[in-house]
Structure 1
Amino acid sequence: MAGQVRLRMVSRTHVGDLRGPIVCELVSPQEWSEVRAGLGADPLRGQVLPEEVLDRLHRTRRAIGAVLLDQTVVAGVGNVYRAELLHRHAVDPHTPARRVPDEVVRLLWDDLVRLMPLGVRTGRIIVADEDVERAQALLDAGRTGRIRPAYAVYRRHGRPCPRCATTVVKETMAGRNLFWCPGCQDADDRAHPRPWQAAASP
C-alpha cells in the first residue's frame, strides 16, 4: 500500500492505519471540540445541502477546485472526490465558486451524500457508477465491498479522458495535485455539453 503511516490504531480485533493526511496531530478533547466547531457541512451527517454553503460560495471568487478542499466549507472532501466529481459534472476546477450554478453545487453535494458513506463502509473512495453497483452488491451479500476503484481523471494525467479523449493534465491547486480534463471541463468550451445542462433541457 502507498503512503507513509501517520497513525495506527489497534484493538483486539481491528487495525486501522491513517496514511498521507495533510494534518495529523494528537489533540486534547478541548482542542478537538474547537476543530470540530470550525468544520463545514458534513455530507456524512446531512442529506440536504445547507443554505450557508451556497451563501459562502456566492460570496467567494476562489476557484471551486480550491473551495472543495476547504474543510470549513464542506468537511471530508479530499483530492479524489474533488477531481472525480468535478469531472463527472464537467465543471472547470478554475471556475470561481460564485459562478458555479446552484443546481451544480447541489449535484456535487448529492454525490457526496451518496458516495462518502459507501467509502466509509468499504474503505475505498468509490465514484464510478459501475464500481458503486459492484461494491453495494458485495455489501448486500455480507462481504466487505472492497474493490479496486476506477477513476476518470485522478492520477490519470497524460492519458486520454474517457469522455472526450483530451489528455488529462496535472497541476497544483490549494497545495494539492489537481487532475482534470481541459477538454470537457473547460468552462469556455461549448463543444462539450455539460451533463447537468443536458439533464435540465426539456
Structure 2
Amino acid sequence: MPEGHSVHRISRQFDRNIVGLAVHASSPQGRFAEGASMIDGRTATQVRAVGKQMFLEFDDDVWLRVHLGMYGAWDFAGEIVVDPTIASANGRMGQTNQRGTAVEGAVMDSAGENSLTSIGAPRRARVRVRMSEQTTGLNDEDLEWPPPVVGQVRLRLLTEITCADLRGPTACELQTPDEVAATIAKLGPDPLVDDIAEGEERFAAVVARKPTPIGQLLMDQSVVSGIGNVYRAEILFRAQQNPHTPGRDVPGEVVRGMWRDWVRLLSVGVETGQMMTMDDLSPDRYRKAMASRDDRHWVYHRAGLPCRVCGTTIVVEEMATRKLYWCPSCQT
C-alpha cells in the first residue's frame, strides 16, 4: 500500500503539472463515468495531500477525493516537470525501473518505489522529464499522444502535454467542500499538513488513553496519518518498542519520540521517494540501500533473517490483518 510519502509526492506532481490547467476527464473503465463528466473541462485549482488521501479541487468547489488503498497508482505520461524539492542531492530525479526513461545519474530501485511515472503500485509508462525548462529522457517522436489506455483506468486527467491515469484505487469520488472538511477531520495529524508541535500533542494524547496495542495504533489513520506497514515496523524498531504494548502503557517520552521520528522519516521519504529508515550509512551503503529495499530497512520484510543489531531472528506475525515484522529481543 502506498504510504504517506507517496501521496505527498503525487500531490506535488499534480501541483506542478495539473493545477492551473483545464483538464479533459474520462473514465475508460467506466466505473467513474458520471464523476469524470462533472469535472471534464474544468480547471484544477489546488491539490492537498493528507495522510494517504489526496484532494484535488476544480472550479466551482468541486473536489476529487482519491485513496489509493492497497493496489492503486497514478501513472503519469507526457511531459513531467520534476519538483526540485523532491529531487535528492545525489542526482536522483525520481525515475527508477521504467524502460527507456532513466534520468542520468539516478539510483535505480528495482522495486520501483521511487518512480516518477507511476506513484503507488509500480507500473510501466513513458514520460518526458523536465527540470526547469530542460527536457531529457525519451525523444518527443517516441511518444504517442494522447497515450493509449492500458488496462483498467478508473480516471484519466489529460492536459495538452500531461496525462495522469488512476488505476485500482480504494476510493475515487467527488466531494463538496464540507465533505472534504469532514473527511480530513476524521484523520489523525500529518506532519506535512498540521503544526508539528500540535500534532505531537494530539498523537500523544490519543495514544495515552488507548488500550489498543501500539502496533495497531500506528496504523490507525484516525490516530496518526500516513503510516503504513513499512513505516509502522521501522518506527517501532527504531523506538525499541514492543508492538503488543497497549498504547496507554507506552511511556510518554517514547510516544513523543515515535512522532518525531515519523516527522523525520516522512520528510526523507518525500525528498527521496523511498522509505529509507536506516541512519548513518556510508556513501556506498547509502547508495546500495537506495537501489534495493533489502538494504534499506531494519526489520521490514526480514522474517527469518538475523536482526541487524542483536542477531536474533526477525519474526513476522499478523496484527489486524497486516504482516508485522519485529525483533523479539531489541523490542522487549
Q: Provide the residue aligned with 1:148 in structure 2.
A: 292
SS in 2 for 1:53: helix
**Candidates 167, 180, 192, aligned match of 2:313:** 167
Q: Provide the residue aligned with 1:86 in structure 2.
A: 236
Please say which of residues 87-96 and 43-52 is displaced more in the overlay. 43-52
Count residues in correspondence. Answer: 174
Matches within 5 A, 1:1-202: 6-10=72-76, 12-14=78-80, 15-19=117-121, 24-30=170-176, 31-45=179-193, 46-48=195-197, 49-130=199-280, 147-149=291-293, 150-186=296-332
Verify the 8 A CA contact 1:161 1:167 in the aligned structure 2.
Answer: yes
Q: Counterparts of 2:312 and 2:321 in 1: how far apart (Å)?
A: 25
How far did residue 11 of structure 1 move? 5.1
How far did residue 128 of structure 1 move? 0.5
Larger radius of gyration: 2
Name the CA shift for 1:33/1:24 in 2 (closer, same or farther; >3 Å). farther
Verify the 8 A CA contact 2:213 2:245 in the aligned structure 1.
Answer: yes
Q: Counterparts of 2:119 and 2:248 in 1: how far apart (Å)?
A: 37
Q: TM-score, normalization: structure 2?
A: 0.48
Coordinate RMSD, CA, aligned: 2.7
Higher helix share goes to which structure? Answer: 1
Q: Provide the residue aligned with 1:192 in structure 2.
A: none
Partner deviation per Cα, 1:47-73 (whole Å, 9 max, x = no partner)? 224323222112110000000000011
Verify the 8 A CA contact 1:161 1:181 in the aligned structure 2.
Answer: yes
Q: Counterparts of 1:5 and 1:23 in 2: how far apart (Å)?
A: 7
Higher strand share goes to which structure? Answer: 2
SS in 2 for 1:170: strand
Structure 1 unmatched ranges of 5 or more: 139-145, 187-202
Structure 2 unmatched ranges of 5 or more: 1-69, 81-116, 123-167
Name the CA shift for 1:36/1:23 in 2 (closer, same or farther; >3 Å). farther
SS in 2 for 1:13: strand
Name the CA shift for 1:34/1:11 in 2 (closer, same or farther; >3 Å). farther
Q: TM-score, normalization: structure 1?
A: 0.76
Please say which of residues 175-184 and 66-75 is displaced more in the overlay. 175-184
Verify the 8 A CA contact 1:168 1:182 in the aligned structure 2.
Answer: yes
Percent of residue pairs identical: 39
SS in 1 for 2:258: helix
